[in-house]
Structure 1
Amino acid sequence: MIKIVVAGFNGRMGSTATKMVLANETFELVGVLDPLEQKKNLSEFPEYAQVDVPIFTDKETLLSSQPDVWIDFTMPEFALEHTQFALENRICPVVGTTGFSEADISFLTNLSKEKKTGGLIAPNFAIGAVLMMEFSKKAAKFFPDVEIIELHHDNKLDAPSGTAIKTAEMISQVREPKKQGHLDEVETLQGARGADYDGMRIHSVRLPGLIAHQQVQFGGIGEGLTIRHDSYDRSSFMGGVALGCKEVMERNELVYGLENLL
C-alpha cells in the first residue's frame, strides 16, 4: 500500500487526484494540504462524508502522516518549495503544477540524486498528450517548419503551457534552430506571431469552457500535418498520475516528463 498526500486538494486537479487516490485499492490517502483550509478533516466535506483523512495547513505537520508520495497540484509559486521539501524528507513527489524553469528542474534533479529519492514532474499526465509530443518529435525530423497552438481554460496562470514548452524542447532535440516566416515580416500588433522558441512559434489561447488542448501544426511543400490532443475532462490525467505514483517508488531520482516512465 502506497501512502499518499495531496497538496492543493481544493483545486480542480487536486480534487480529481484526491478522488483517484481514494478509489485506488493500492493507494492510501493519509493527508491533504491546504494552508487556508479551516476544516480539519475531509469528512467535513459532503463529497467525502465517509472519509477520515486529516487536513494539514502546513507541510511540516504533514510529515506526521509518514507519506511515501506527495502529489502536487498547487500554484507555480509554491511548487518548487513543495517539491524541494518532499525530496529533502525523502517523499517521492509527483508534480503536475507547471511553471518550473530549467534551473529549477536541474536543482531538483540533483537534490533527488543526493537523497536517492524518485520523483516525477510532468507538464501533462494524459497518455494521449505524451504520445502527441512523441509523434511531434518524430515528425519534426521531416517537417522543420512547425507552430504550436495550446488552448486552456481562462483560469490557467502560466503561458505558454508546460506541455507546449515541453513539446518545443522535444522538437528542438531533432530540429536545427530556424527562424520561420518571411525574413522581413513585421508584427503590426505586438505578439501576433506568438512566442519564439528556437525560431518555432508558440501561441496560447485562454477561453472559458476549455480544459487542455494542443495542436502541433507542421507545414511542408504542398502538404501539411496536424497532430492534436484534447482533454475533455480532468479525469483524463488520472491514469498518468496513478502510474507516476507507482513508478516513482521504484526509482532513485527525479524525472521530467511522463514519457520517461512509459
Structure 2
Amino acid sequence: MSVKVAVQGALGQMGQQVIKAVAEAKDLELSGGCDAKATEGFLSINGNTIFLSSNLETCLDKTKPDVIVDFSLASAVPQTAETAARAGVSLVIGTTGLSPQVLARLEELTHEYNIGIMVAPNFALGAVVMMELARTASKYLDWAEIIELHHEKKADAPSGTAIATARMMQAARDVPFESPKDEADYKSRGEEFYGVPIHSIRLPGLVAHQEVIFGALGQTLSIRHDSISRESFMPGVLLAVREIAKRRGQFIFGLNKLLGF
C-alpha cells in the first residue's frame, strides 16, 4: 500500500521539489499541499495537479495523508505539528532554526498522539556523510572551524547543518577544541557553537555548502559538501517519508539515524 503524502510550504522552492519527487515515486501518493499564500482549489505544480489550501486543517481533512512534509518557516512549525498530530498525521520536517523547546514539544507529540516525527538539519545524503566524517576526524584533531555558505534568502544563520555538525564534533571528544589563547573578541572570527567557530556566508548563486577545516602541526584537513541543486535533498526526503510512516511513536532527529551511522 502506498504512503499518502501532503506538502506544507507547497509553493516554495523546496516544496515544489518535494511535490515533484513524491509524484515520481511509485510507492508514494501525492495527496495535497498547503501554503500560506495559496488560494483554495486544485492547482498544477510541476505538471502535478493537487488540492491546495492555505488552511492546514482543511488540507488534511480533504486529502487524508499519512505523512506531511514541512519545508516552511520555523515560526510555523509548532502550529503545523500540533494540527498534524491531532489529525494522526506523521511529519517529516526540513525547516531549520527550531529551538530546543520546539524540538522537545515535537518529541512529546509523538508519544501523545502516536505519530512519527522526523527532523533533519540536512536531507542531502552527501551532507550527512560529511557530518559523520567530521565527527570521526574530531577524535584525532584538536583545532576546527566551519564555513557554511547558503543562498541569500535563507532565514537562519548559522545553518542547522553547521550547528548539528559542531554538536556531533564536540560529542566525539573528551576535551574541548583548542582556540587561540590570546584571541580578542572579534566578530569576524565567527560565532562559537560547541566550541567550534562557524562562519556564515549568504550570497545569490549559492544553494547549500559546508566546509569543515581541521588544523594540526604542519597539516590541515578539509571536508566539504556542496548541494548545487535542491534535487540533492530529495532522496533523503523520500527515505524519511517511507521510514517515518512505519515508526509511529518515534521522534528521530537527523538523517544519520536512518543510515546506520
Q: Same fold (TM over 0.5)?
A: yes
TM-score, L = length of structure 2: 0.93
Contact 2:51–2:59 at 8 Å: present in 1 too? no
Q: CA deviation at 1:80?
A: 2.5
After superposition, what is the alpha-carbon deviation per residue over 1:96-124, rounded to whole angstroms, capped at 9, x for unaligned?
A: 11011122212211221222211211110
What is the Cα-based RMSD across aligned positions, in Å? Answer: 1.5
Describe the superposition over 1:166-201 as per-residue Cα deviations: whole angstroms up to 9, x where unpaired.
1011112112453643222124xx521111123210
Q: Secondary structure at the match of 1:172?
A: helix
Match of 1:92 among 90, 93, 98: 90
Residue in structure 2 matching 1:166, options 161, 164, 169: 164
Distance 2:115 2:38 in 1: 29
Please list every run of 5 or more consecutive structure 2 residues that lacks an aligned counterpart in the other structure.
none
User: Structure 1: how far apart are the matches of 2:187 and 2:175?
Assistant: 20
CA distance in 2, matches of 1:179, 1:128: 25
2:56 corresponds in structure 1 to: 59
Partners of 1:56 and 1:125 lie apart in 2 by 26
Deviations 1:199-256, CA, capped at 9 Å, x for gaps: 2101101011000000011111111111110001000000000000000011121201
- 1:145 deviates by 1.2
Q: Which runs of 5+ in 1 are unaligned?
A: none
Query: Is the 8 Å Cα contact of residues 7 and 70 (structure 2) preserved in structure 1?
Result: yes
CA distance in 2, matches of 1:142, 1:256: 26
Whether the 8 Å CA contact 2:40–2:53 is kept in 1: the answer is: no
Give the equivalent residue in structure 2 for 1:153: 151
Opposite residue 105 of structure 1, the aligned amino acid is L
Quote the Cα distance in structure 1 between the aligned partners of 2:237 and 2:54.
23
**Is the 8 Å Cα contact of residues 212 and 232 (structure 1) preserved in structure 2?**
yes
Q: 2:141 aligns with which of 136, 140, 143?
A: 143
Q: 1:194 to 1:40 in 2, by over 3 A?
A: same
2:167 and 2:194 in contact (8 A); partners too = no
Runs of 4+ residues over 6 Å off in structure 1: none
Residue identity over aligned pairs, in percent, reads: 41
Give the counterpart letter for 1:194 in structure 2: G
CA–CA distance in structure 2, aligned partners of residues 162 and 249 of structure 1: 24
Q: Report the number of matched residues.
A: 256
Provide the C-alpha distance between the structure 1 equivalents of 2:103 and 2:15, rounded to a whole number of angstroms: 22
TM-score (norm 1): 0.93
Which residue of 2 is the match for residue 35 of structure 1? Answer: 36
Q: How does 1:190-209 map onto structure 2 within 5 Å?
A: 190-209=186-205
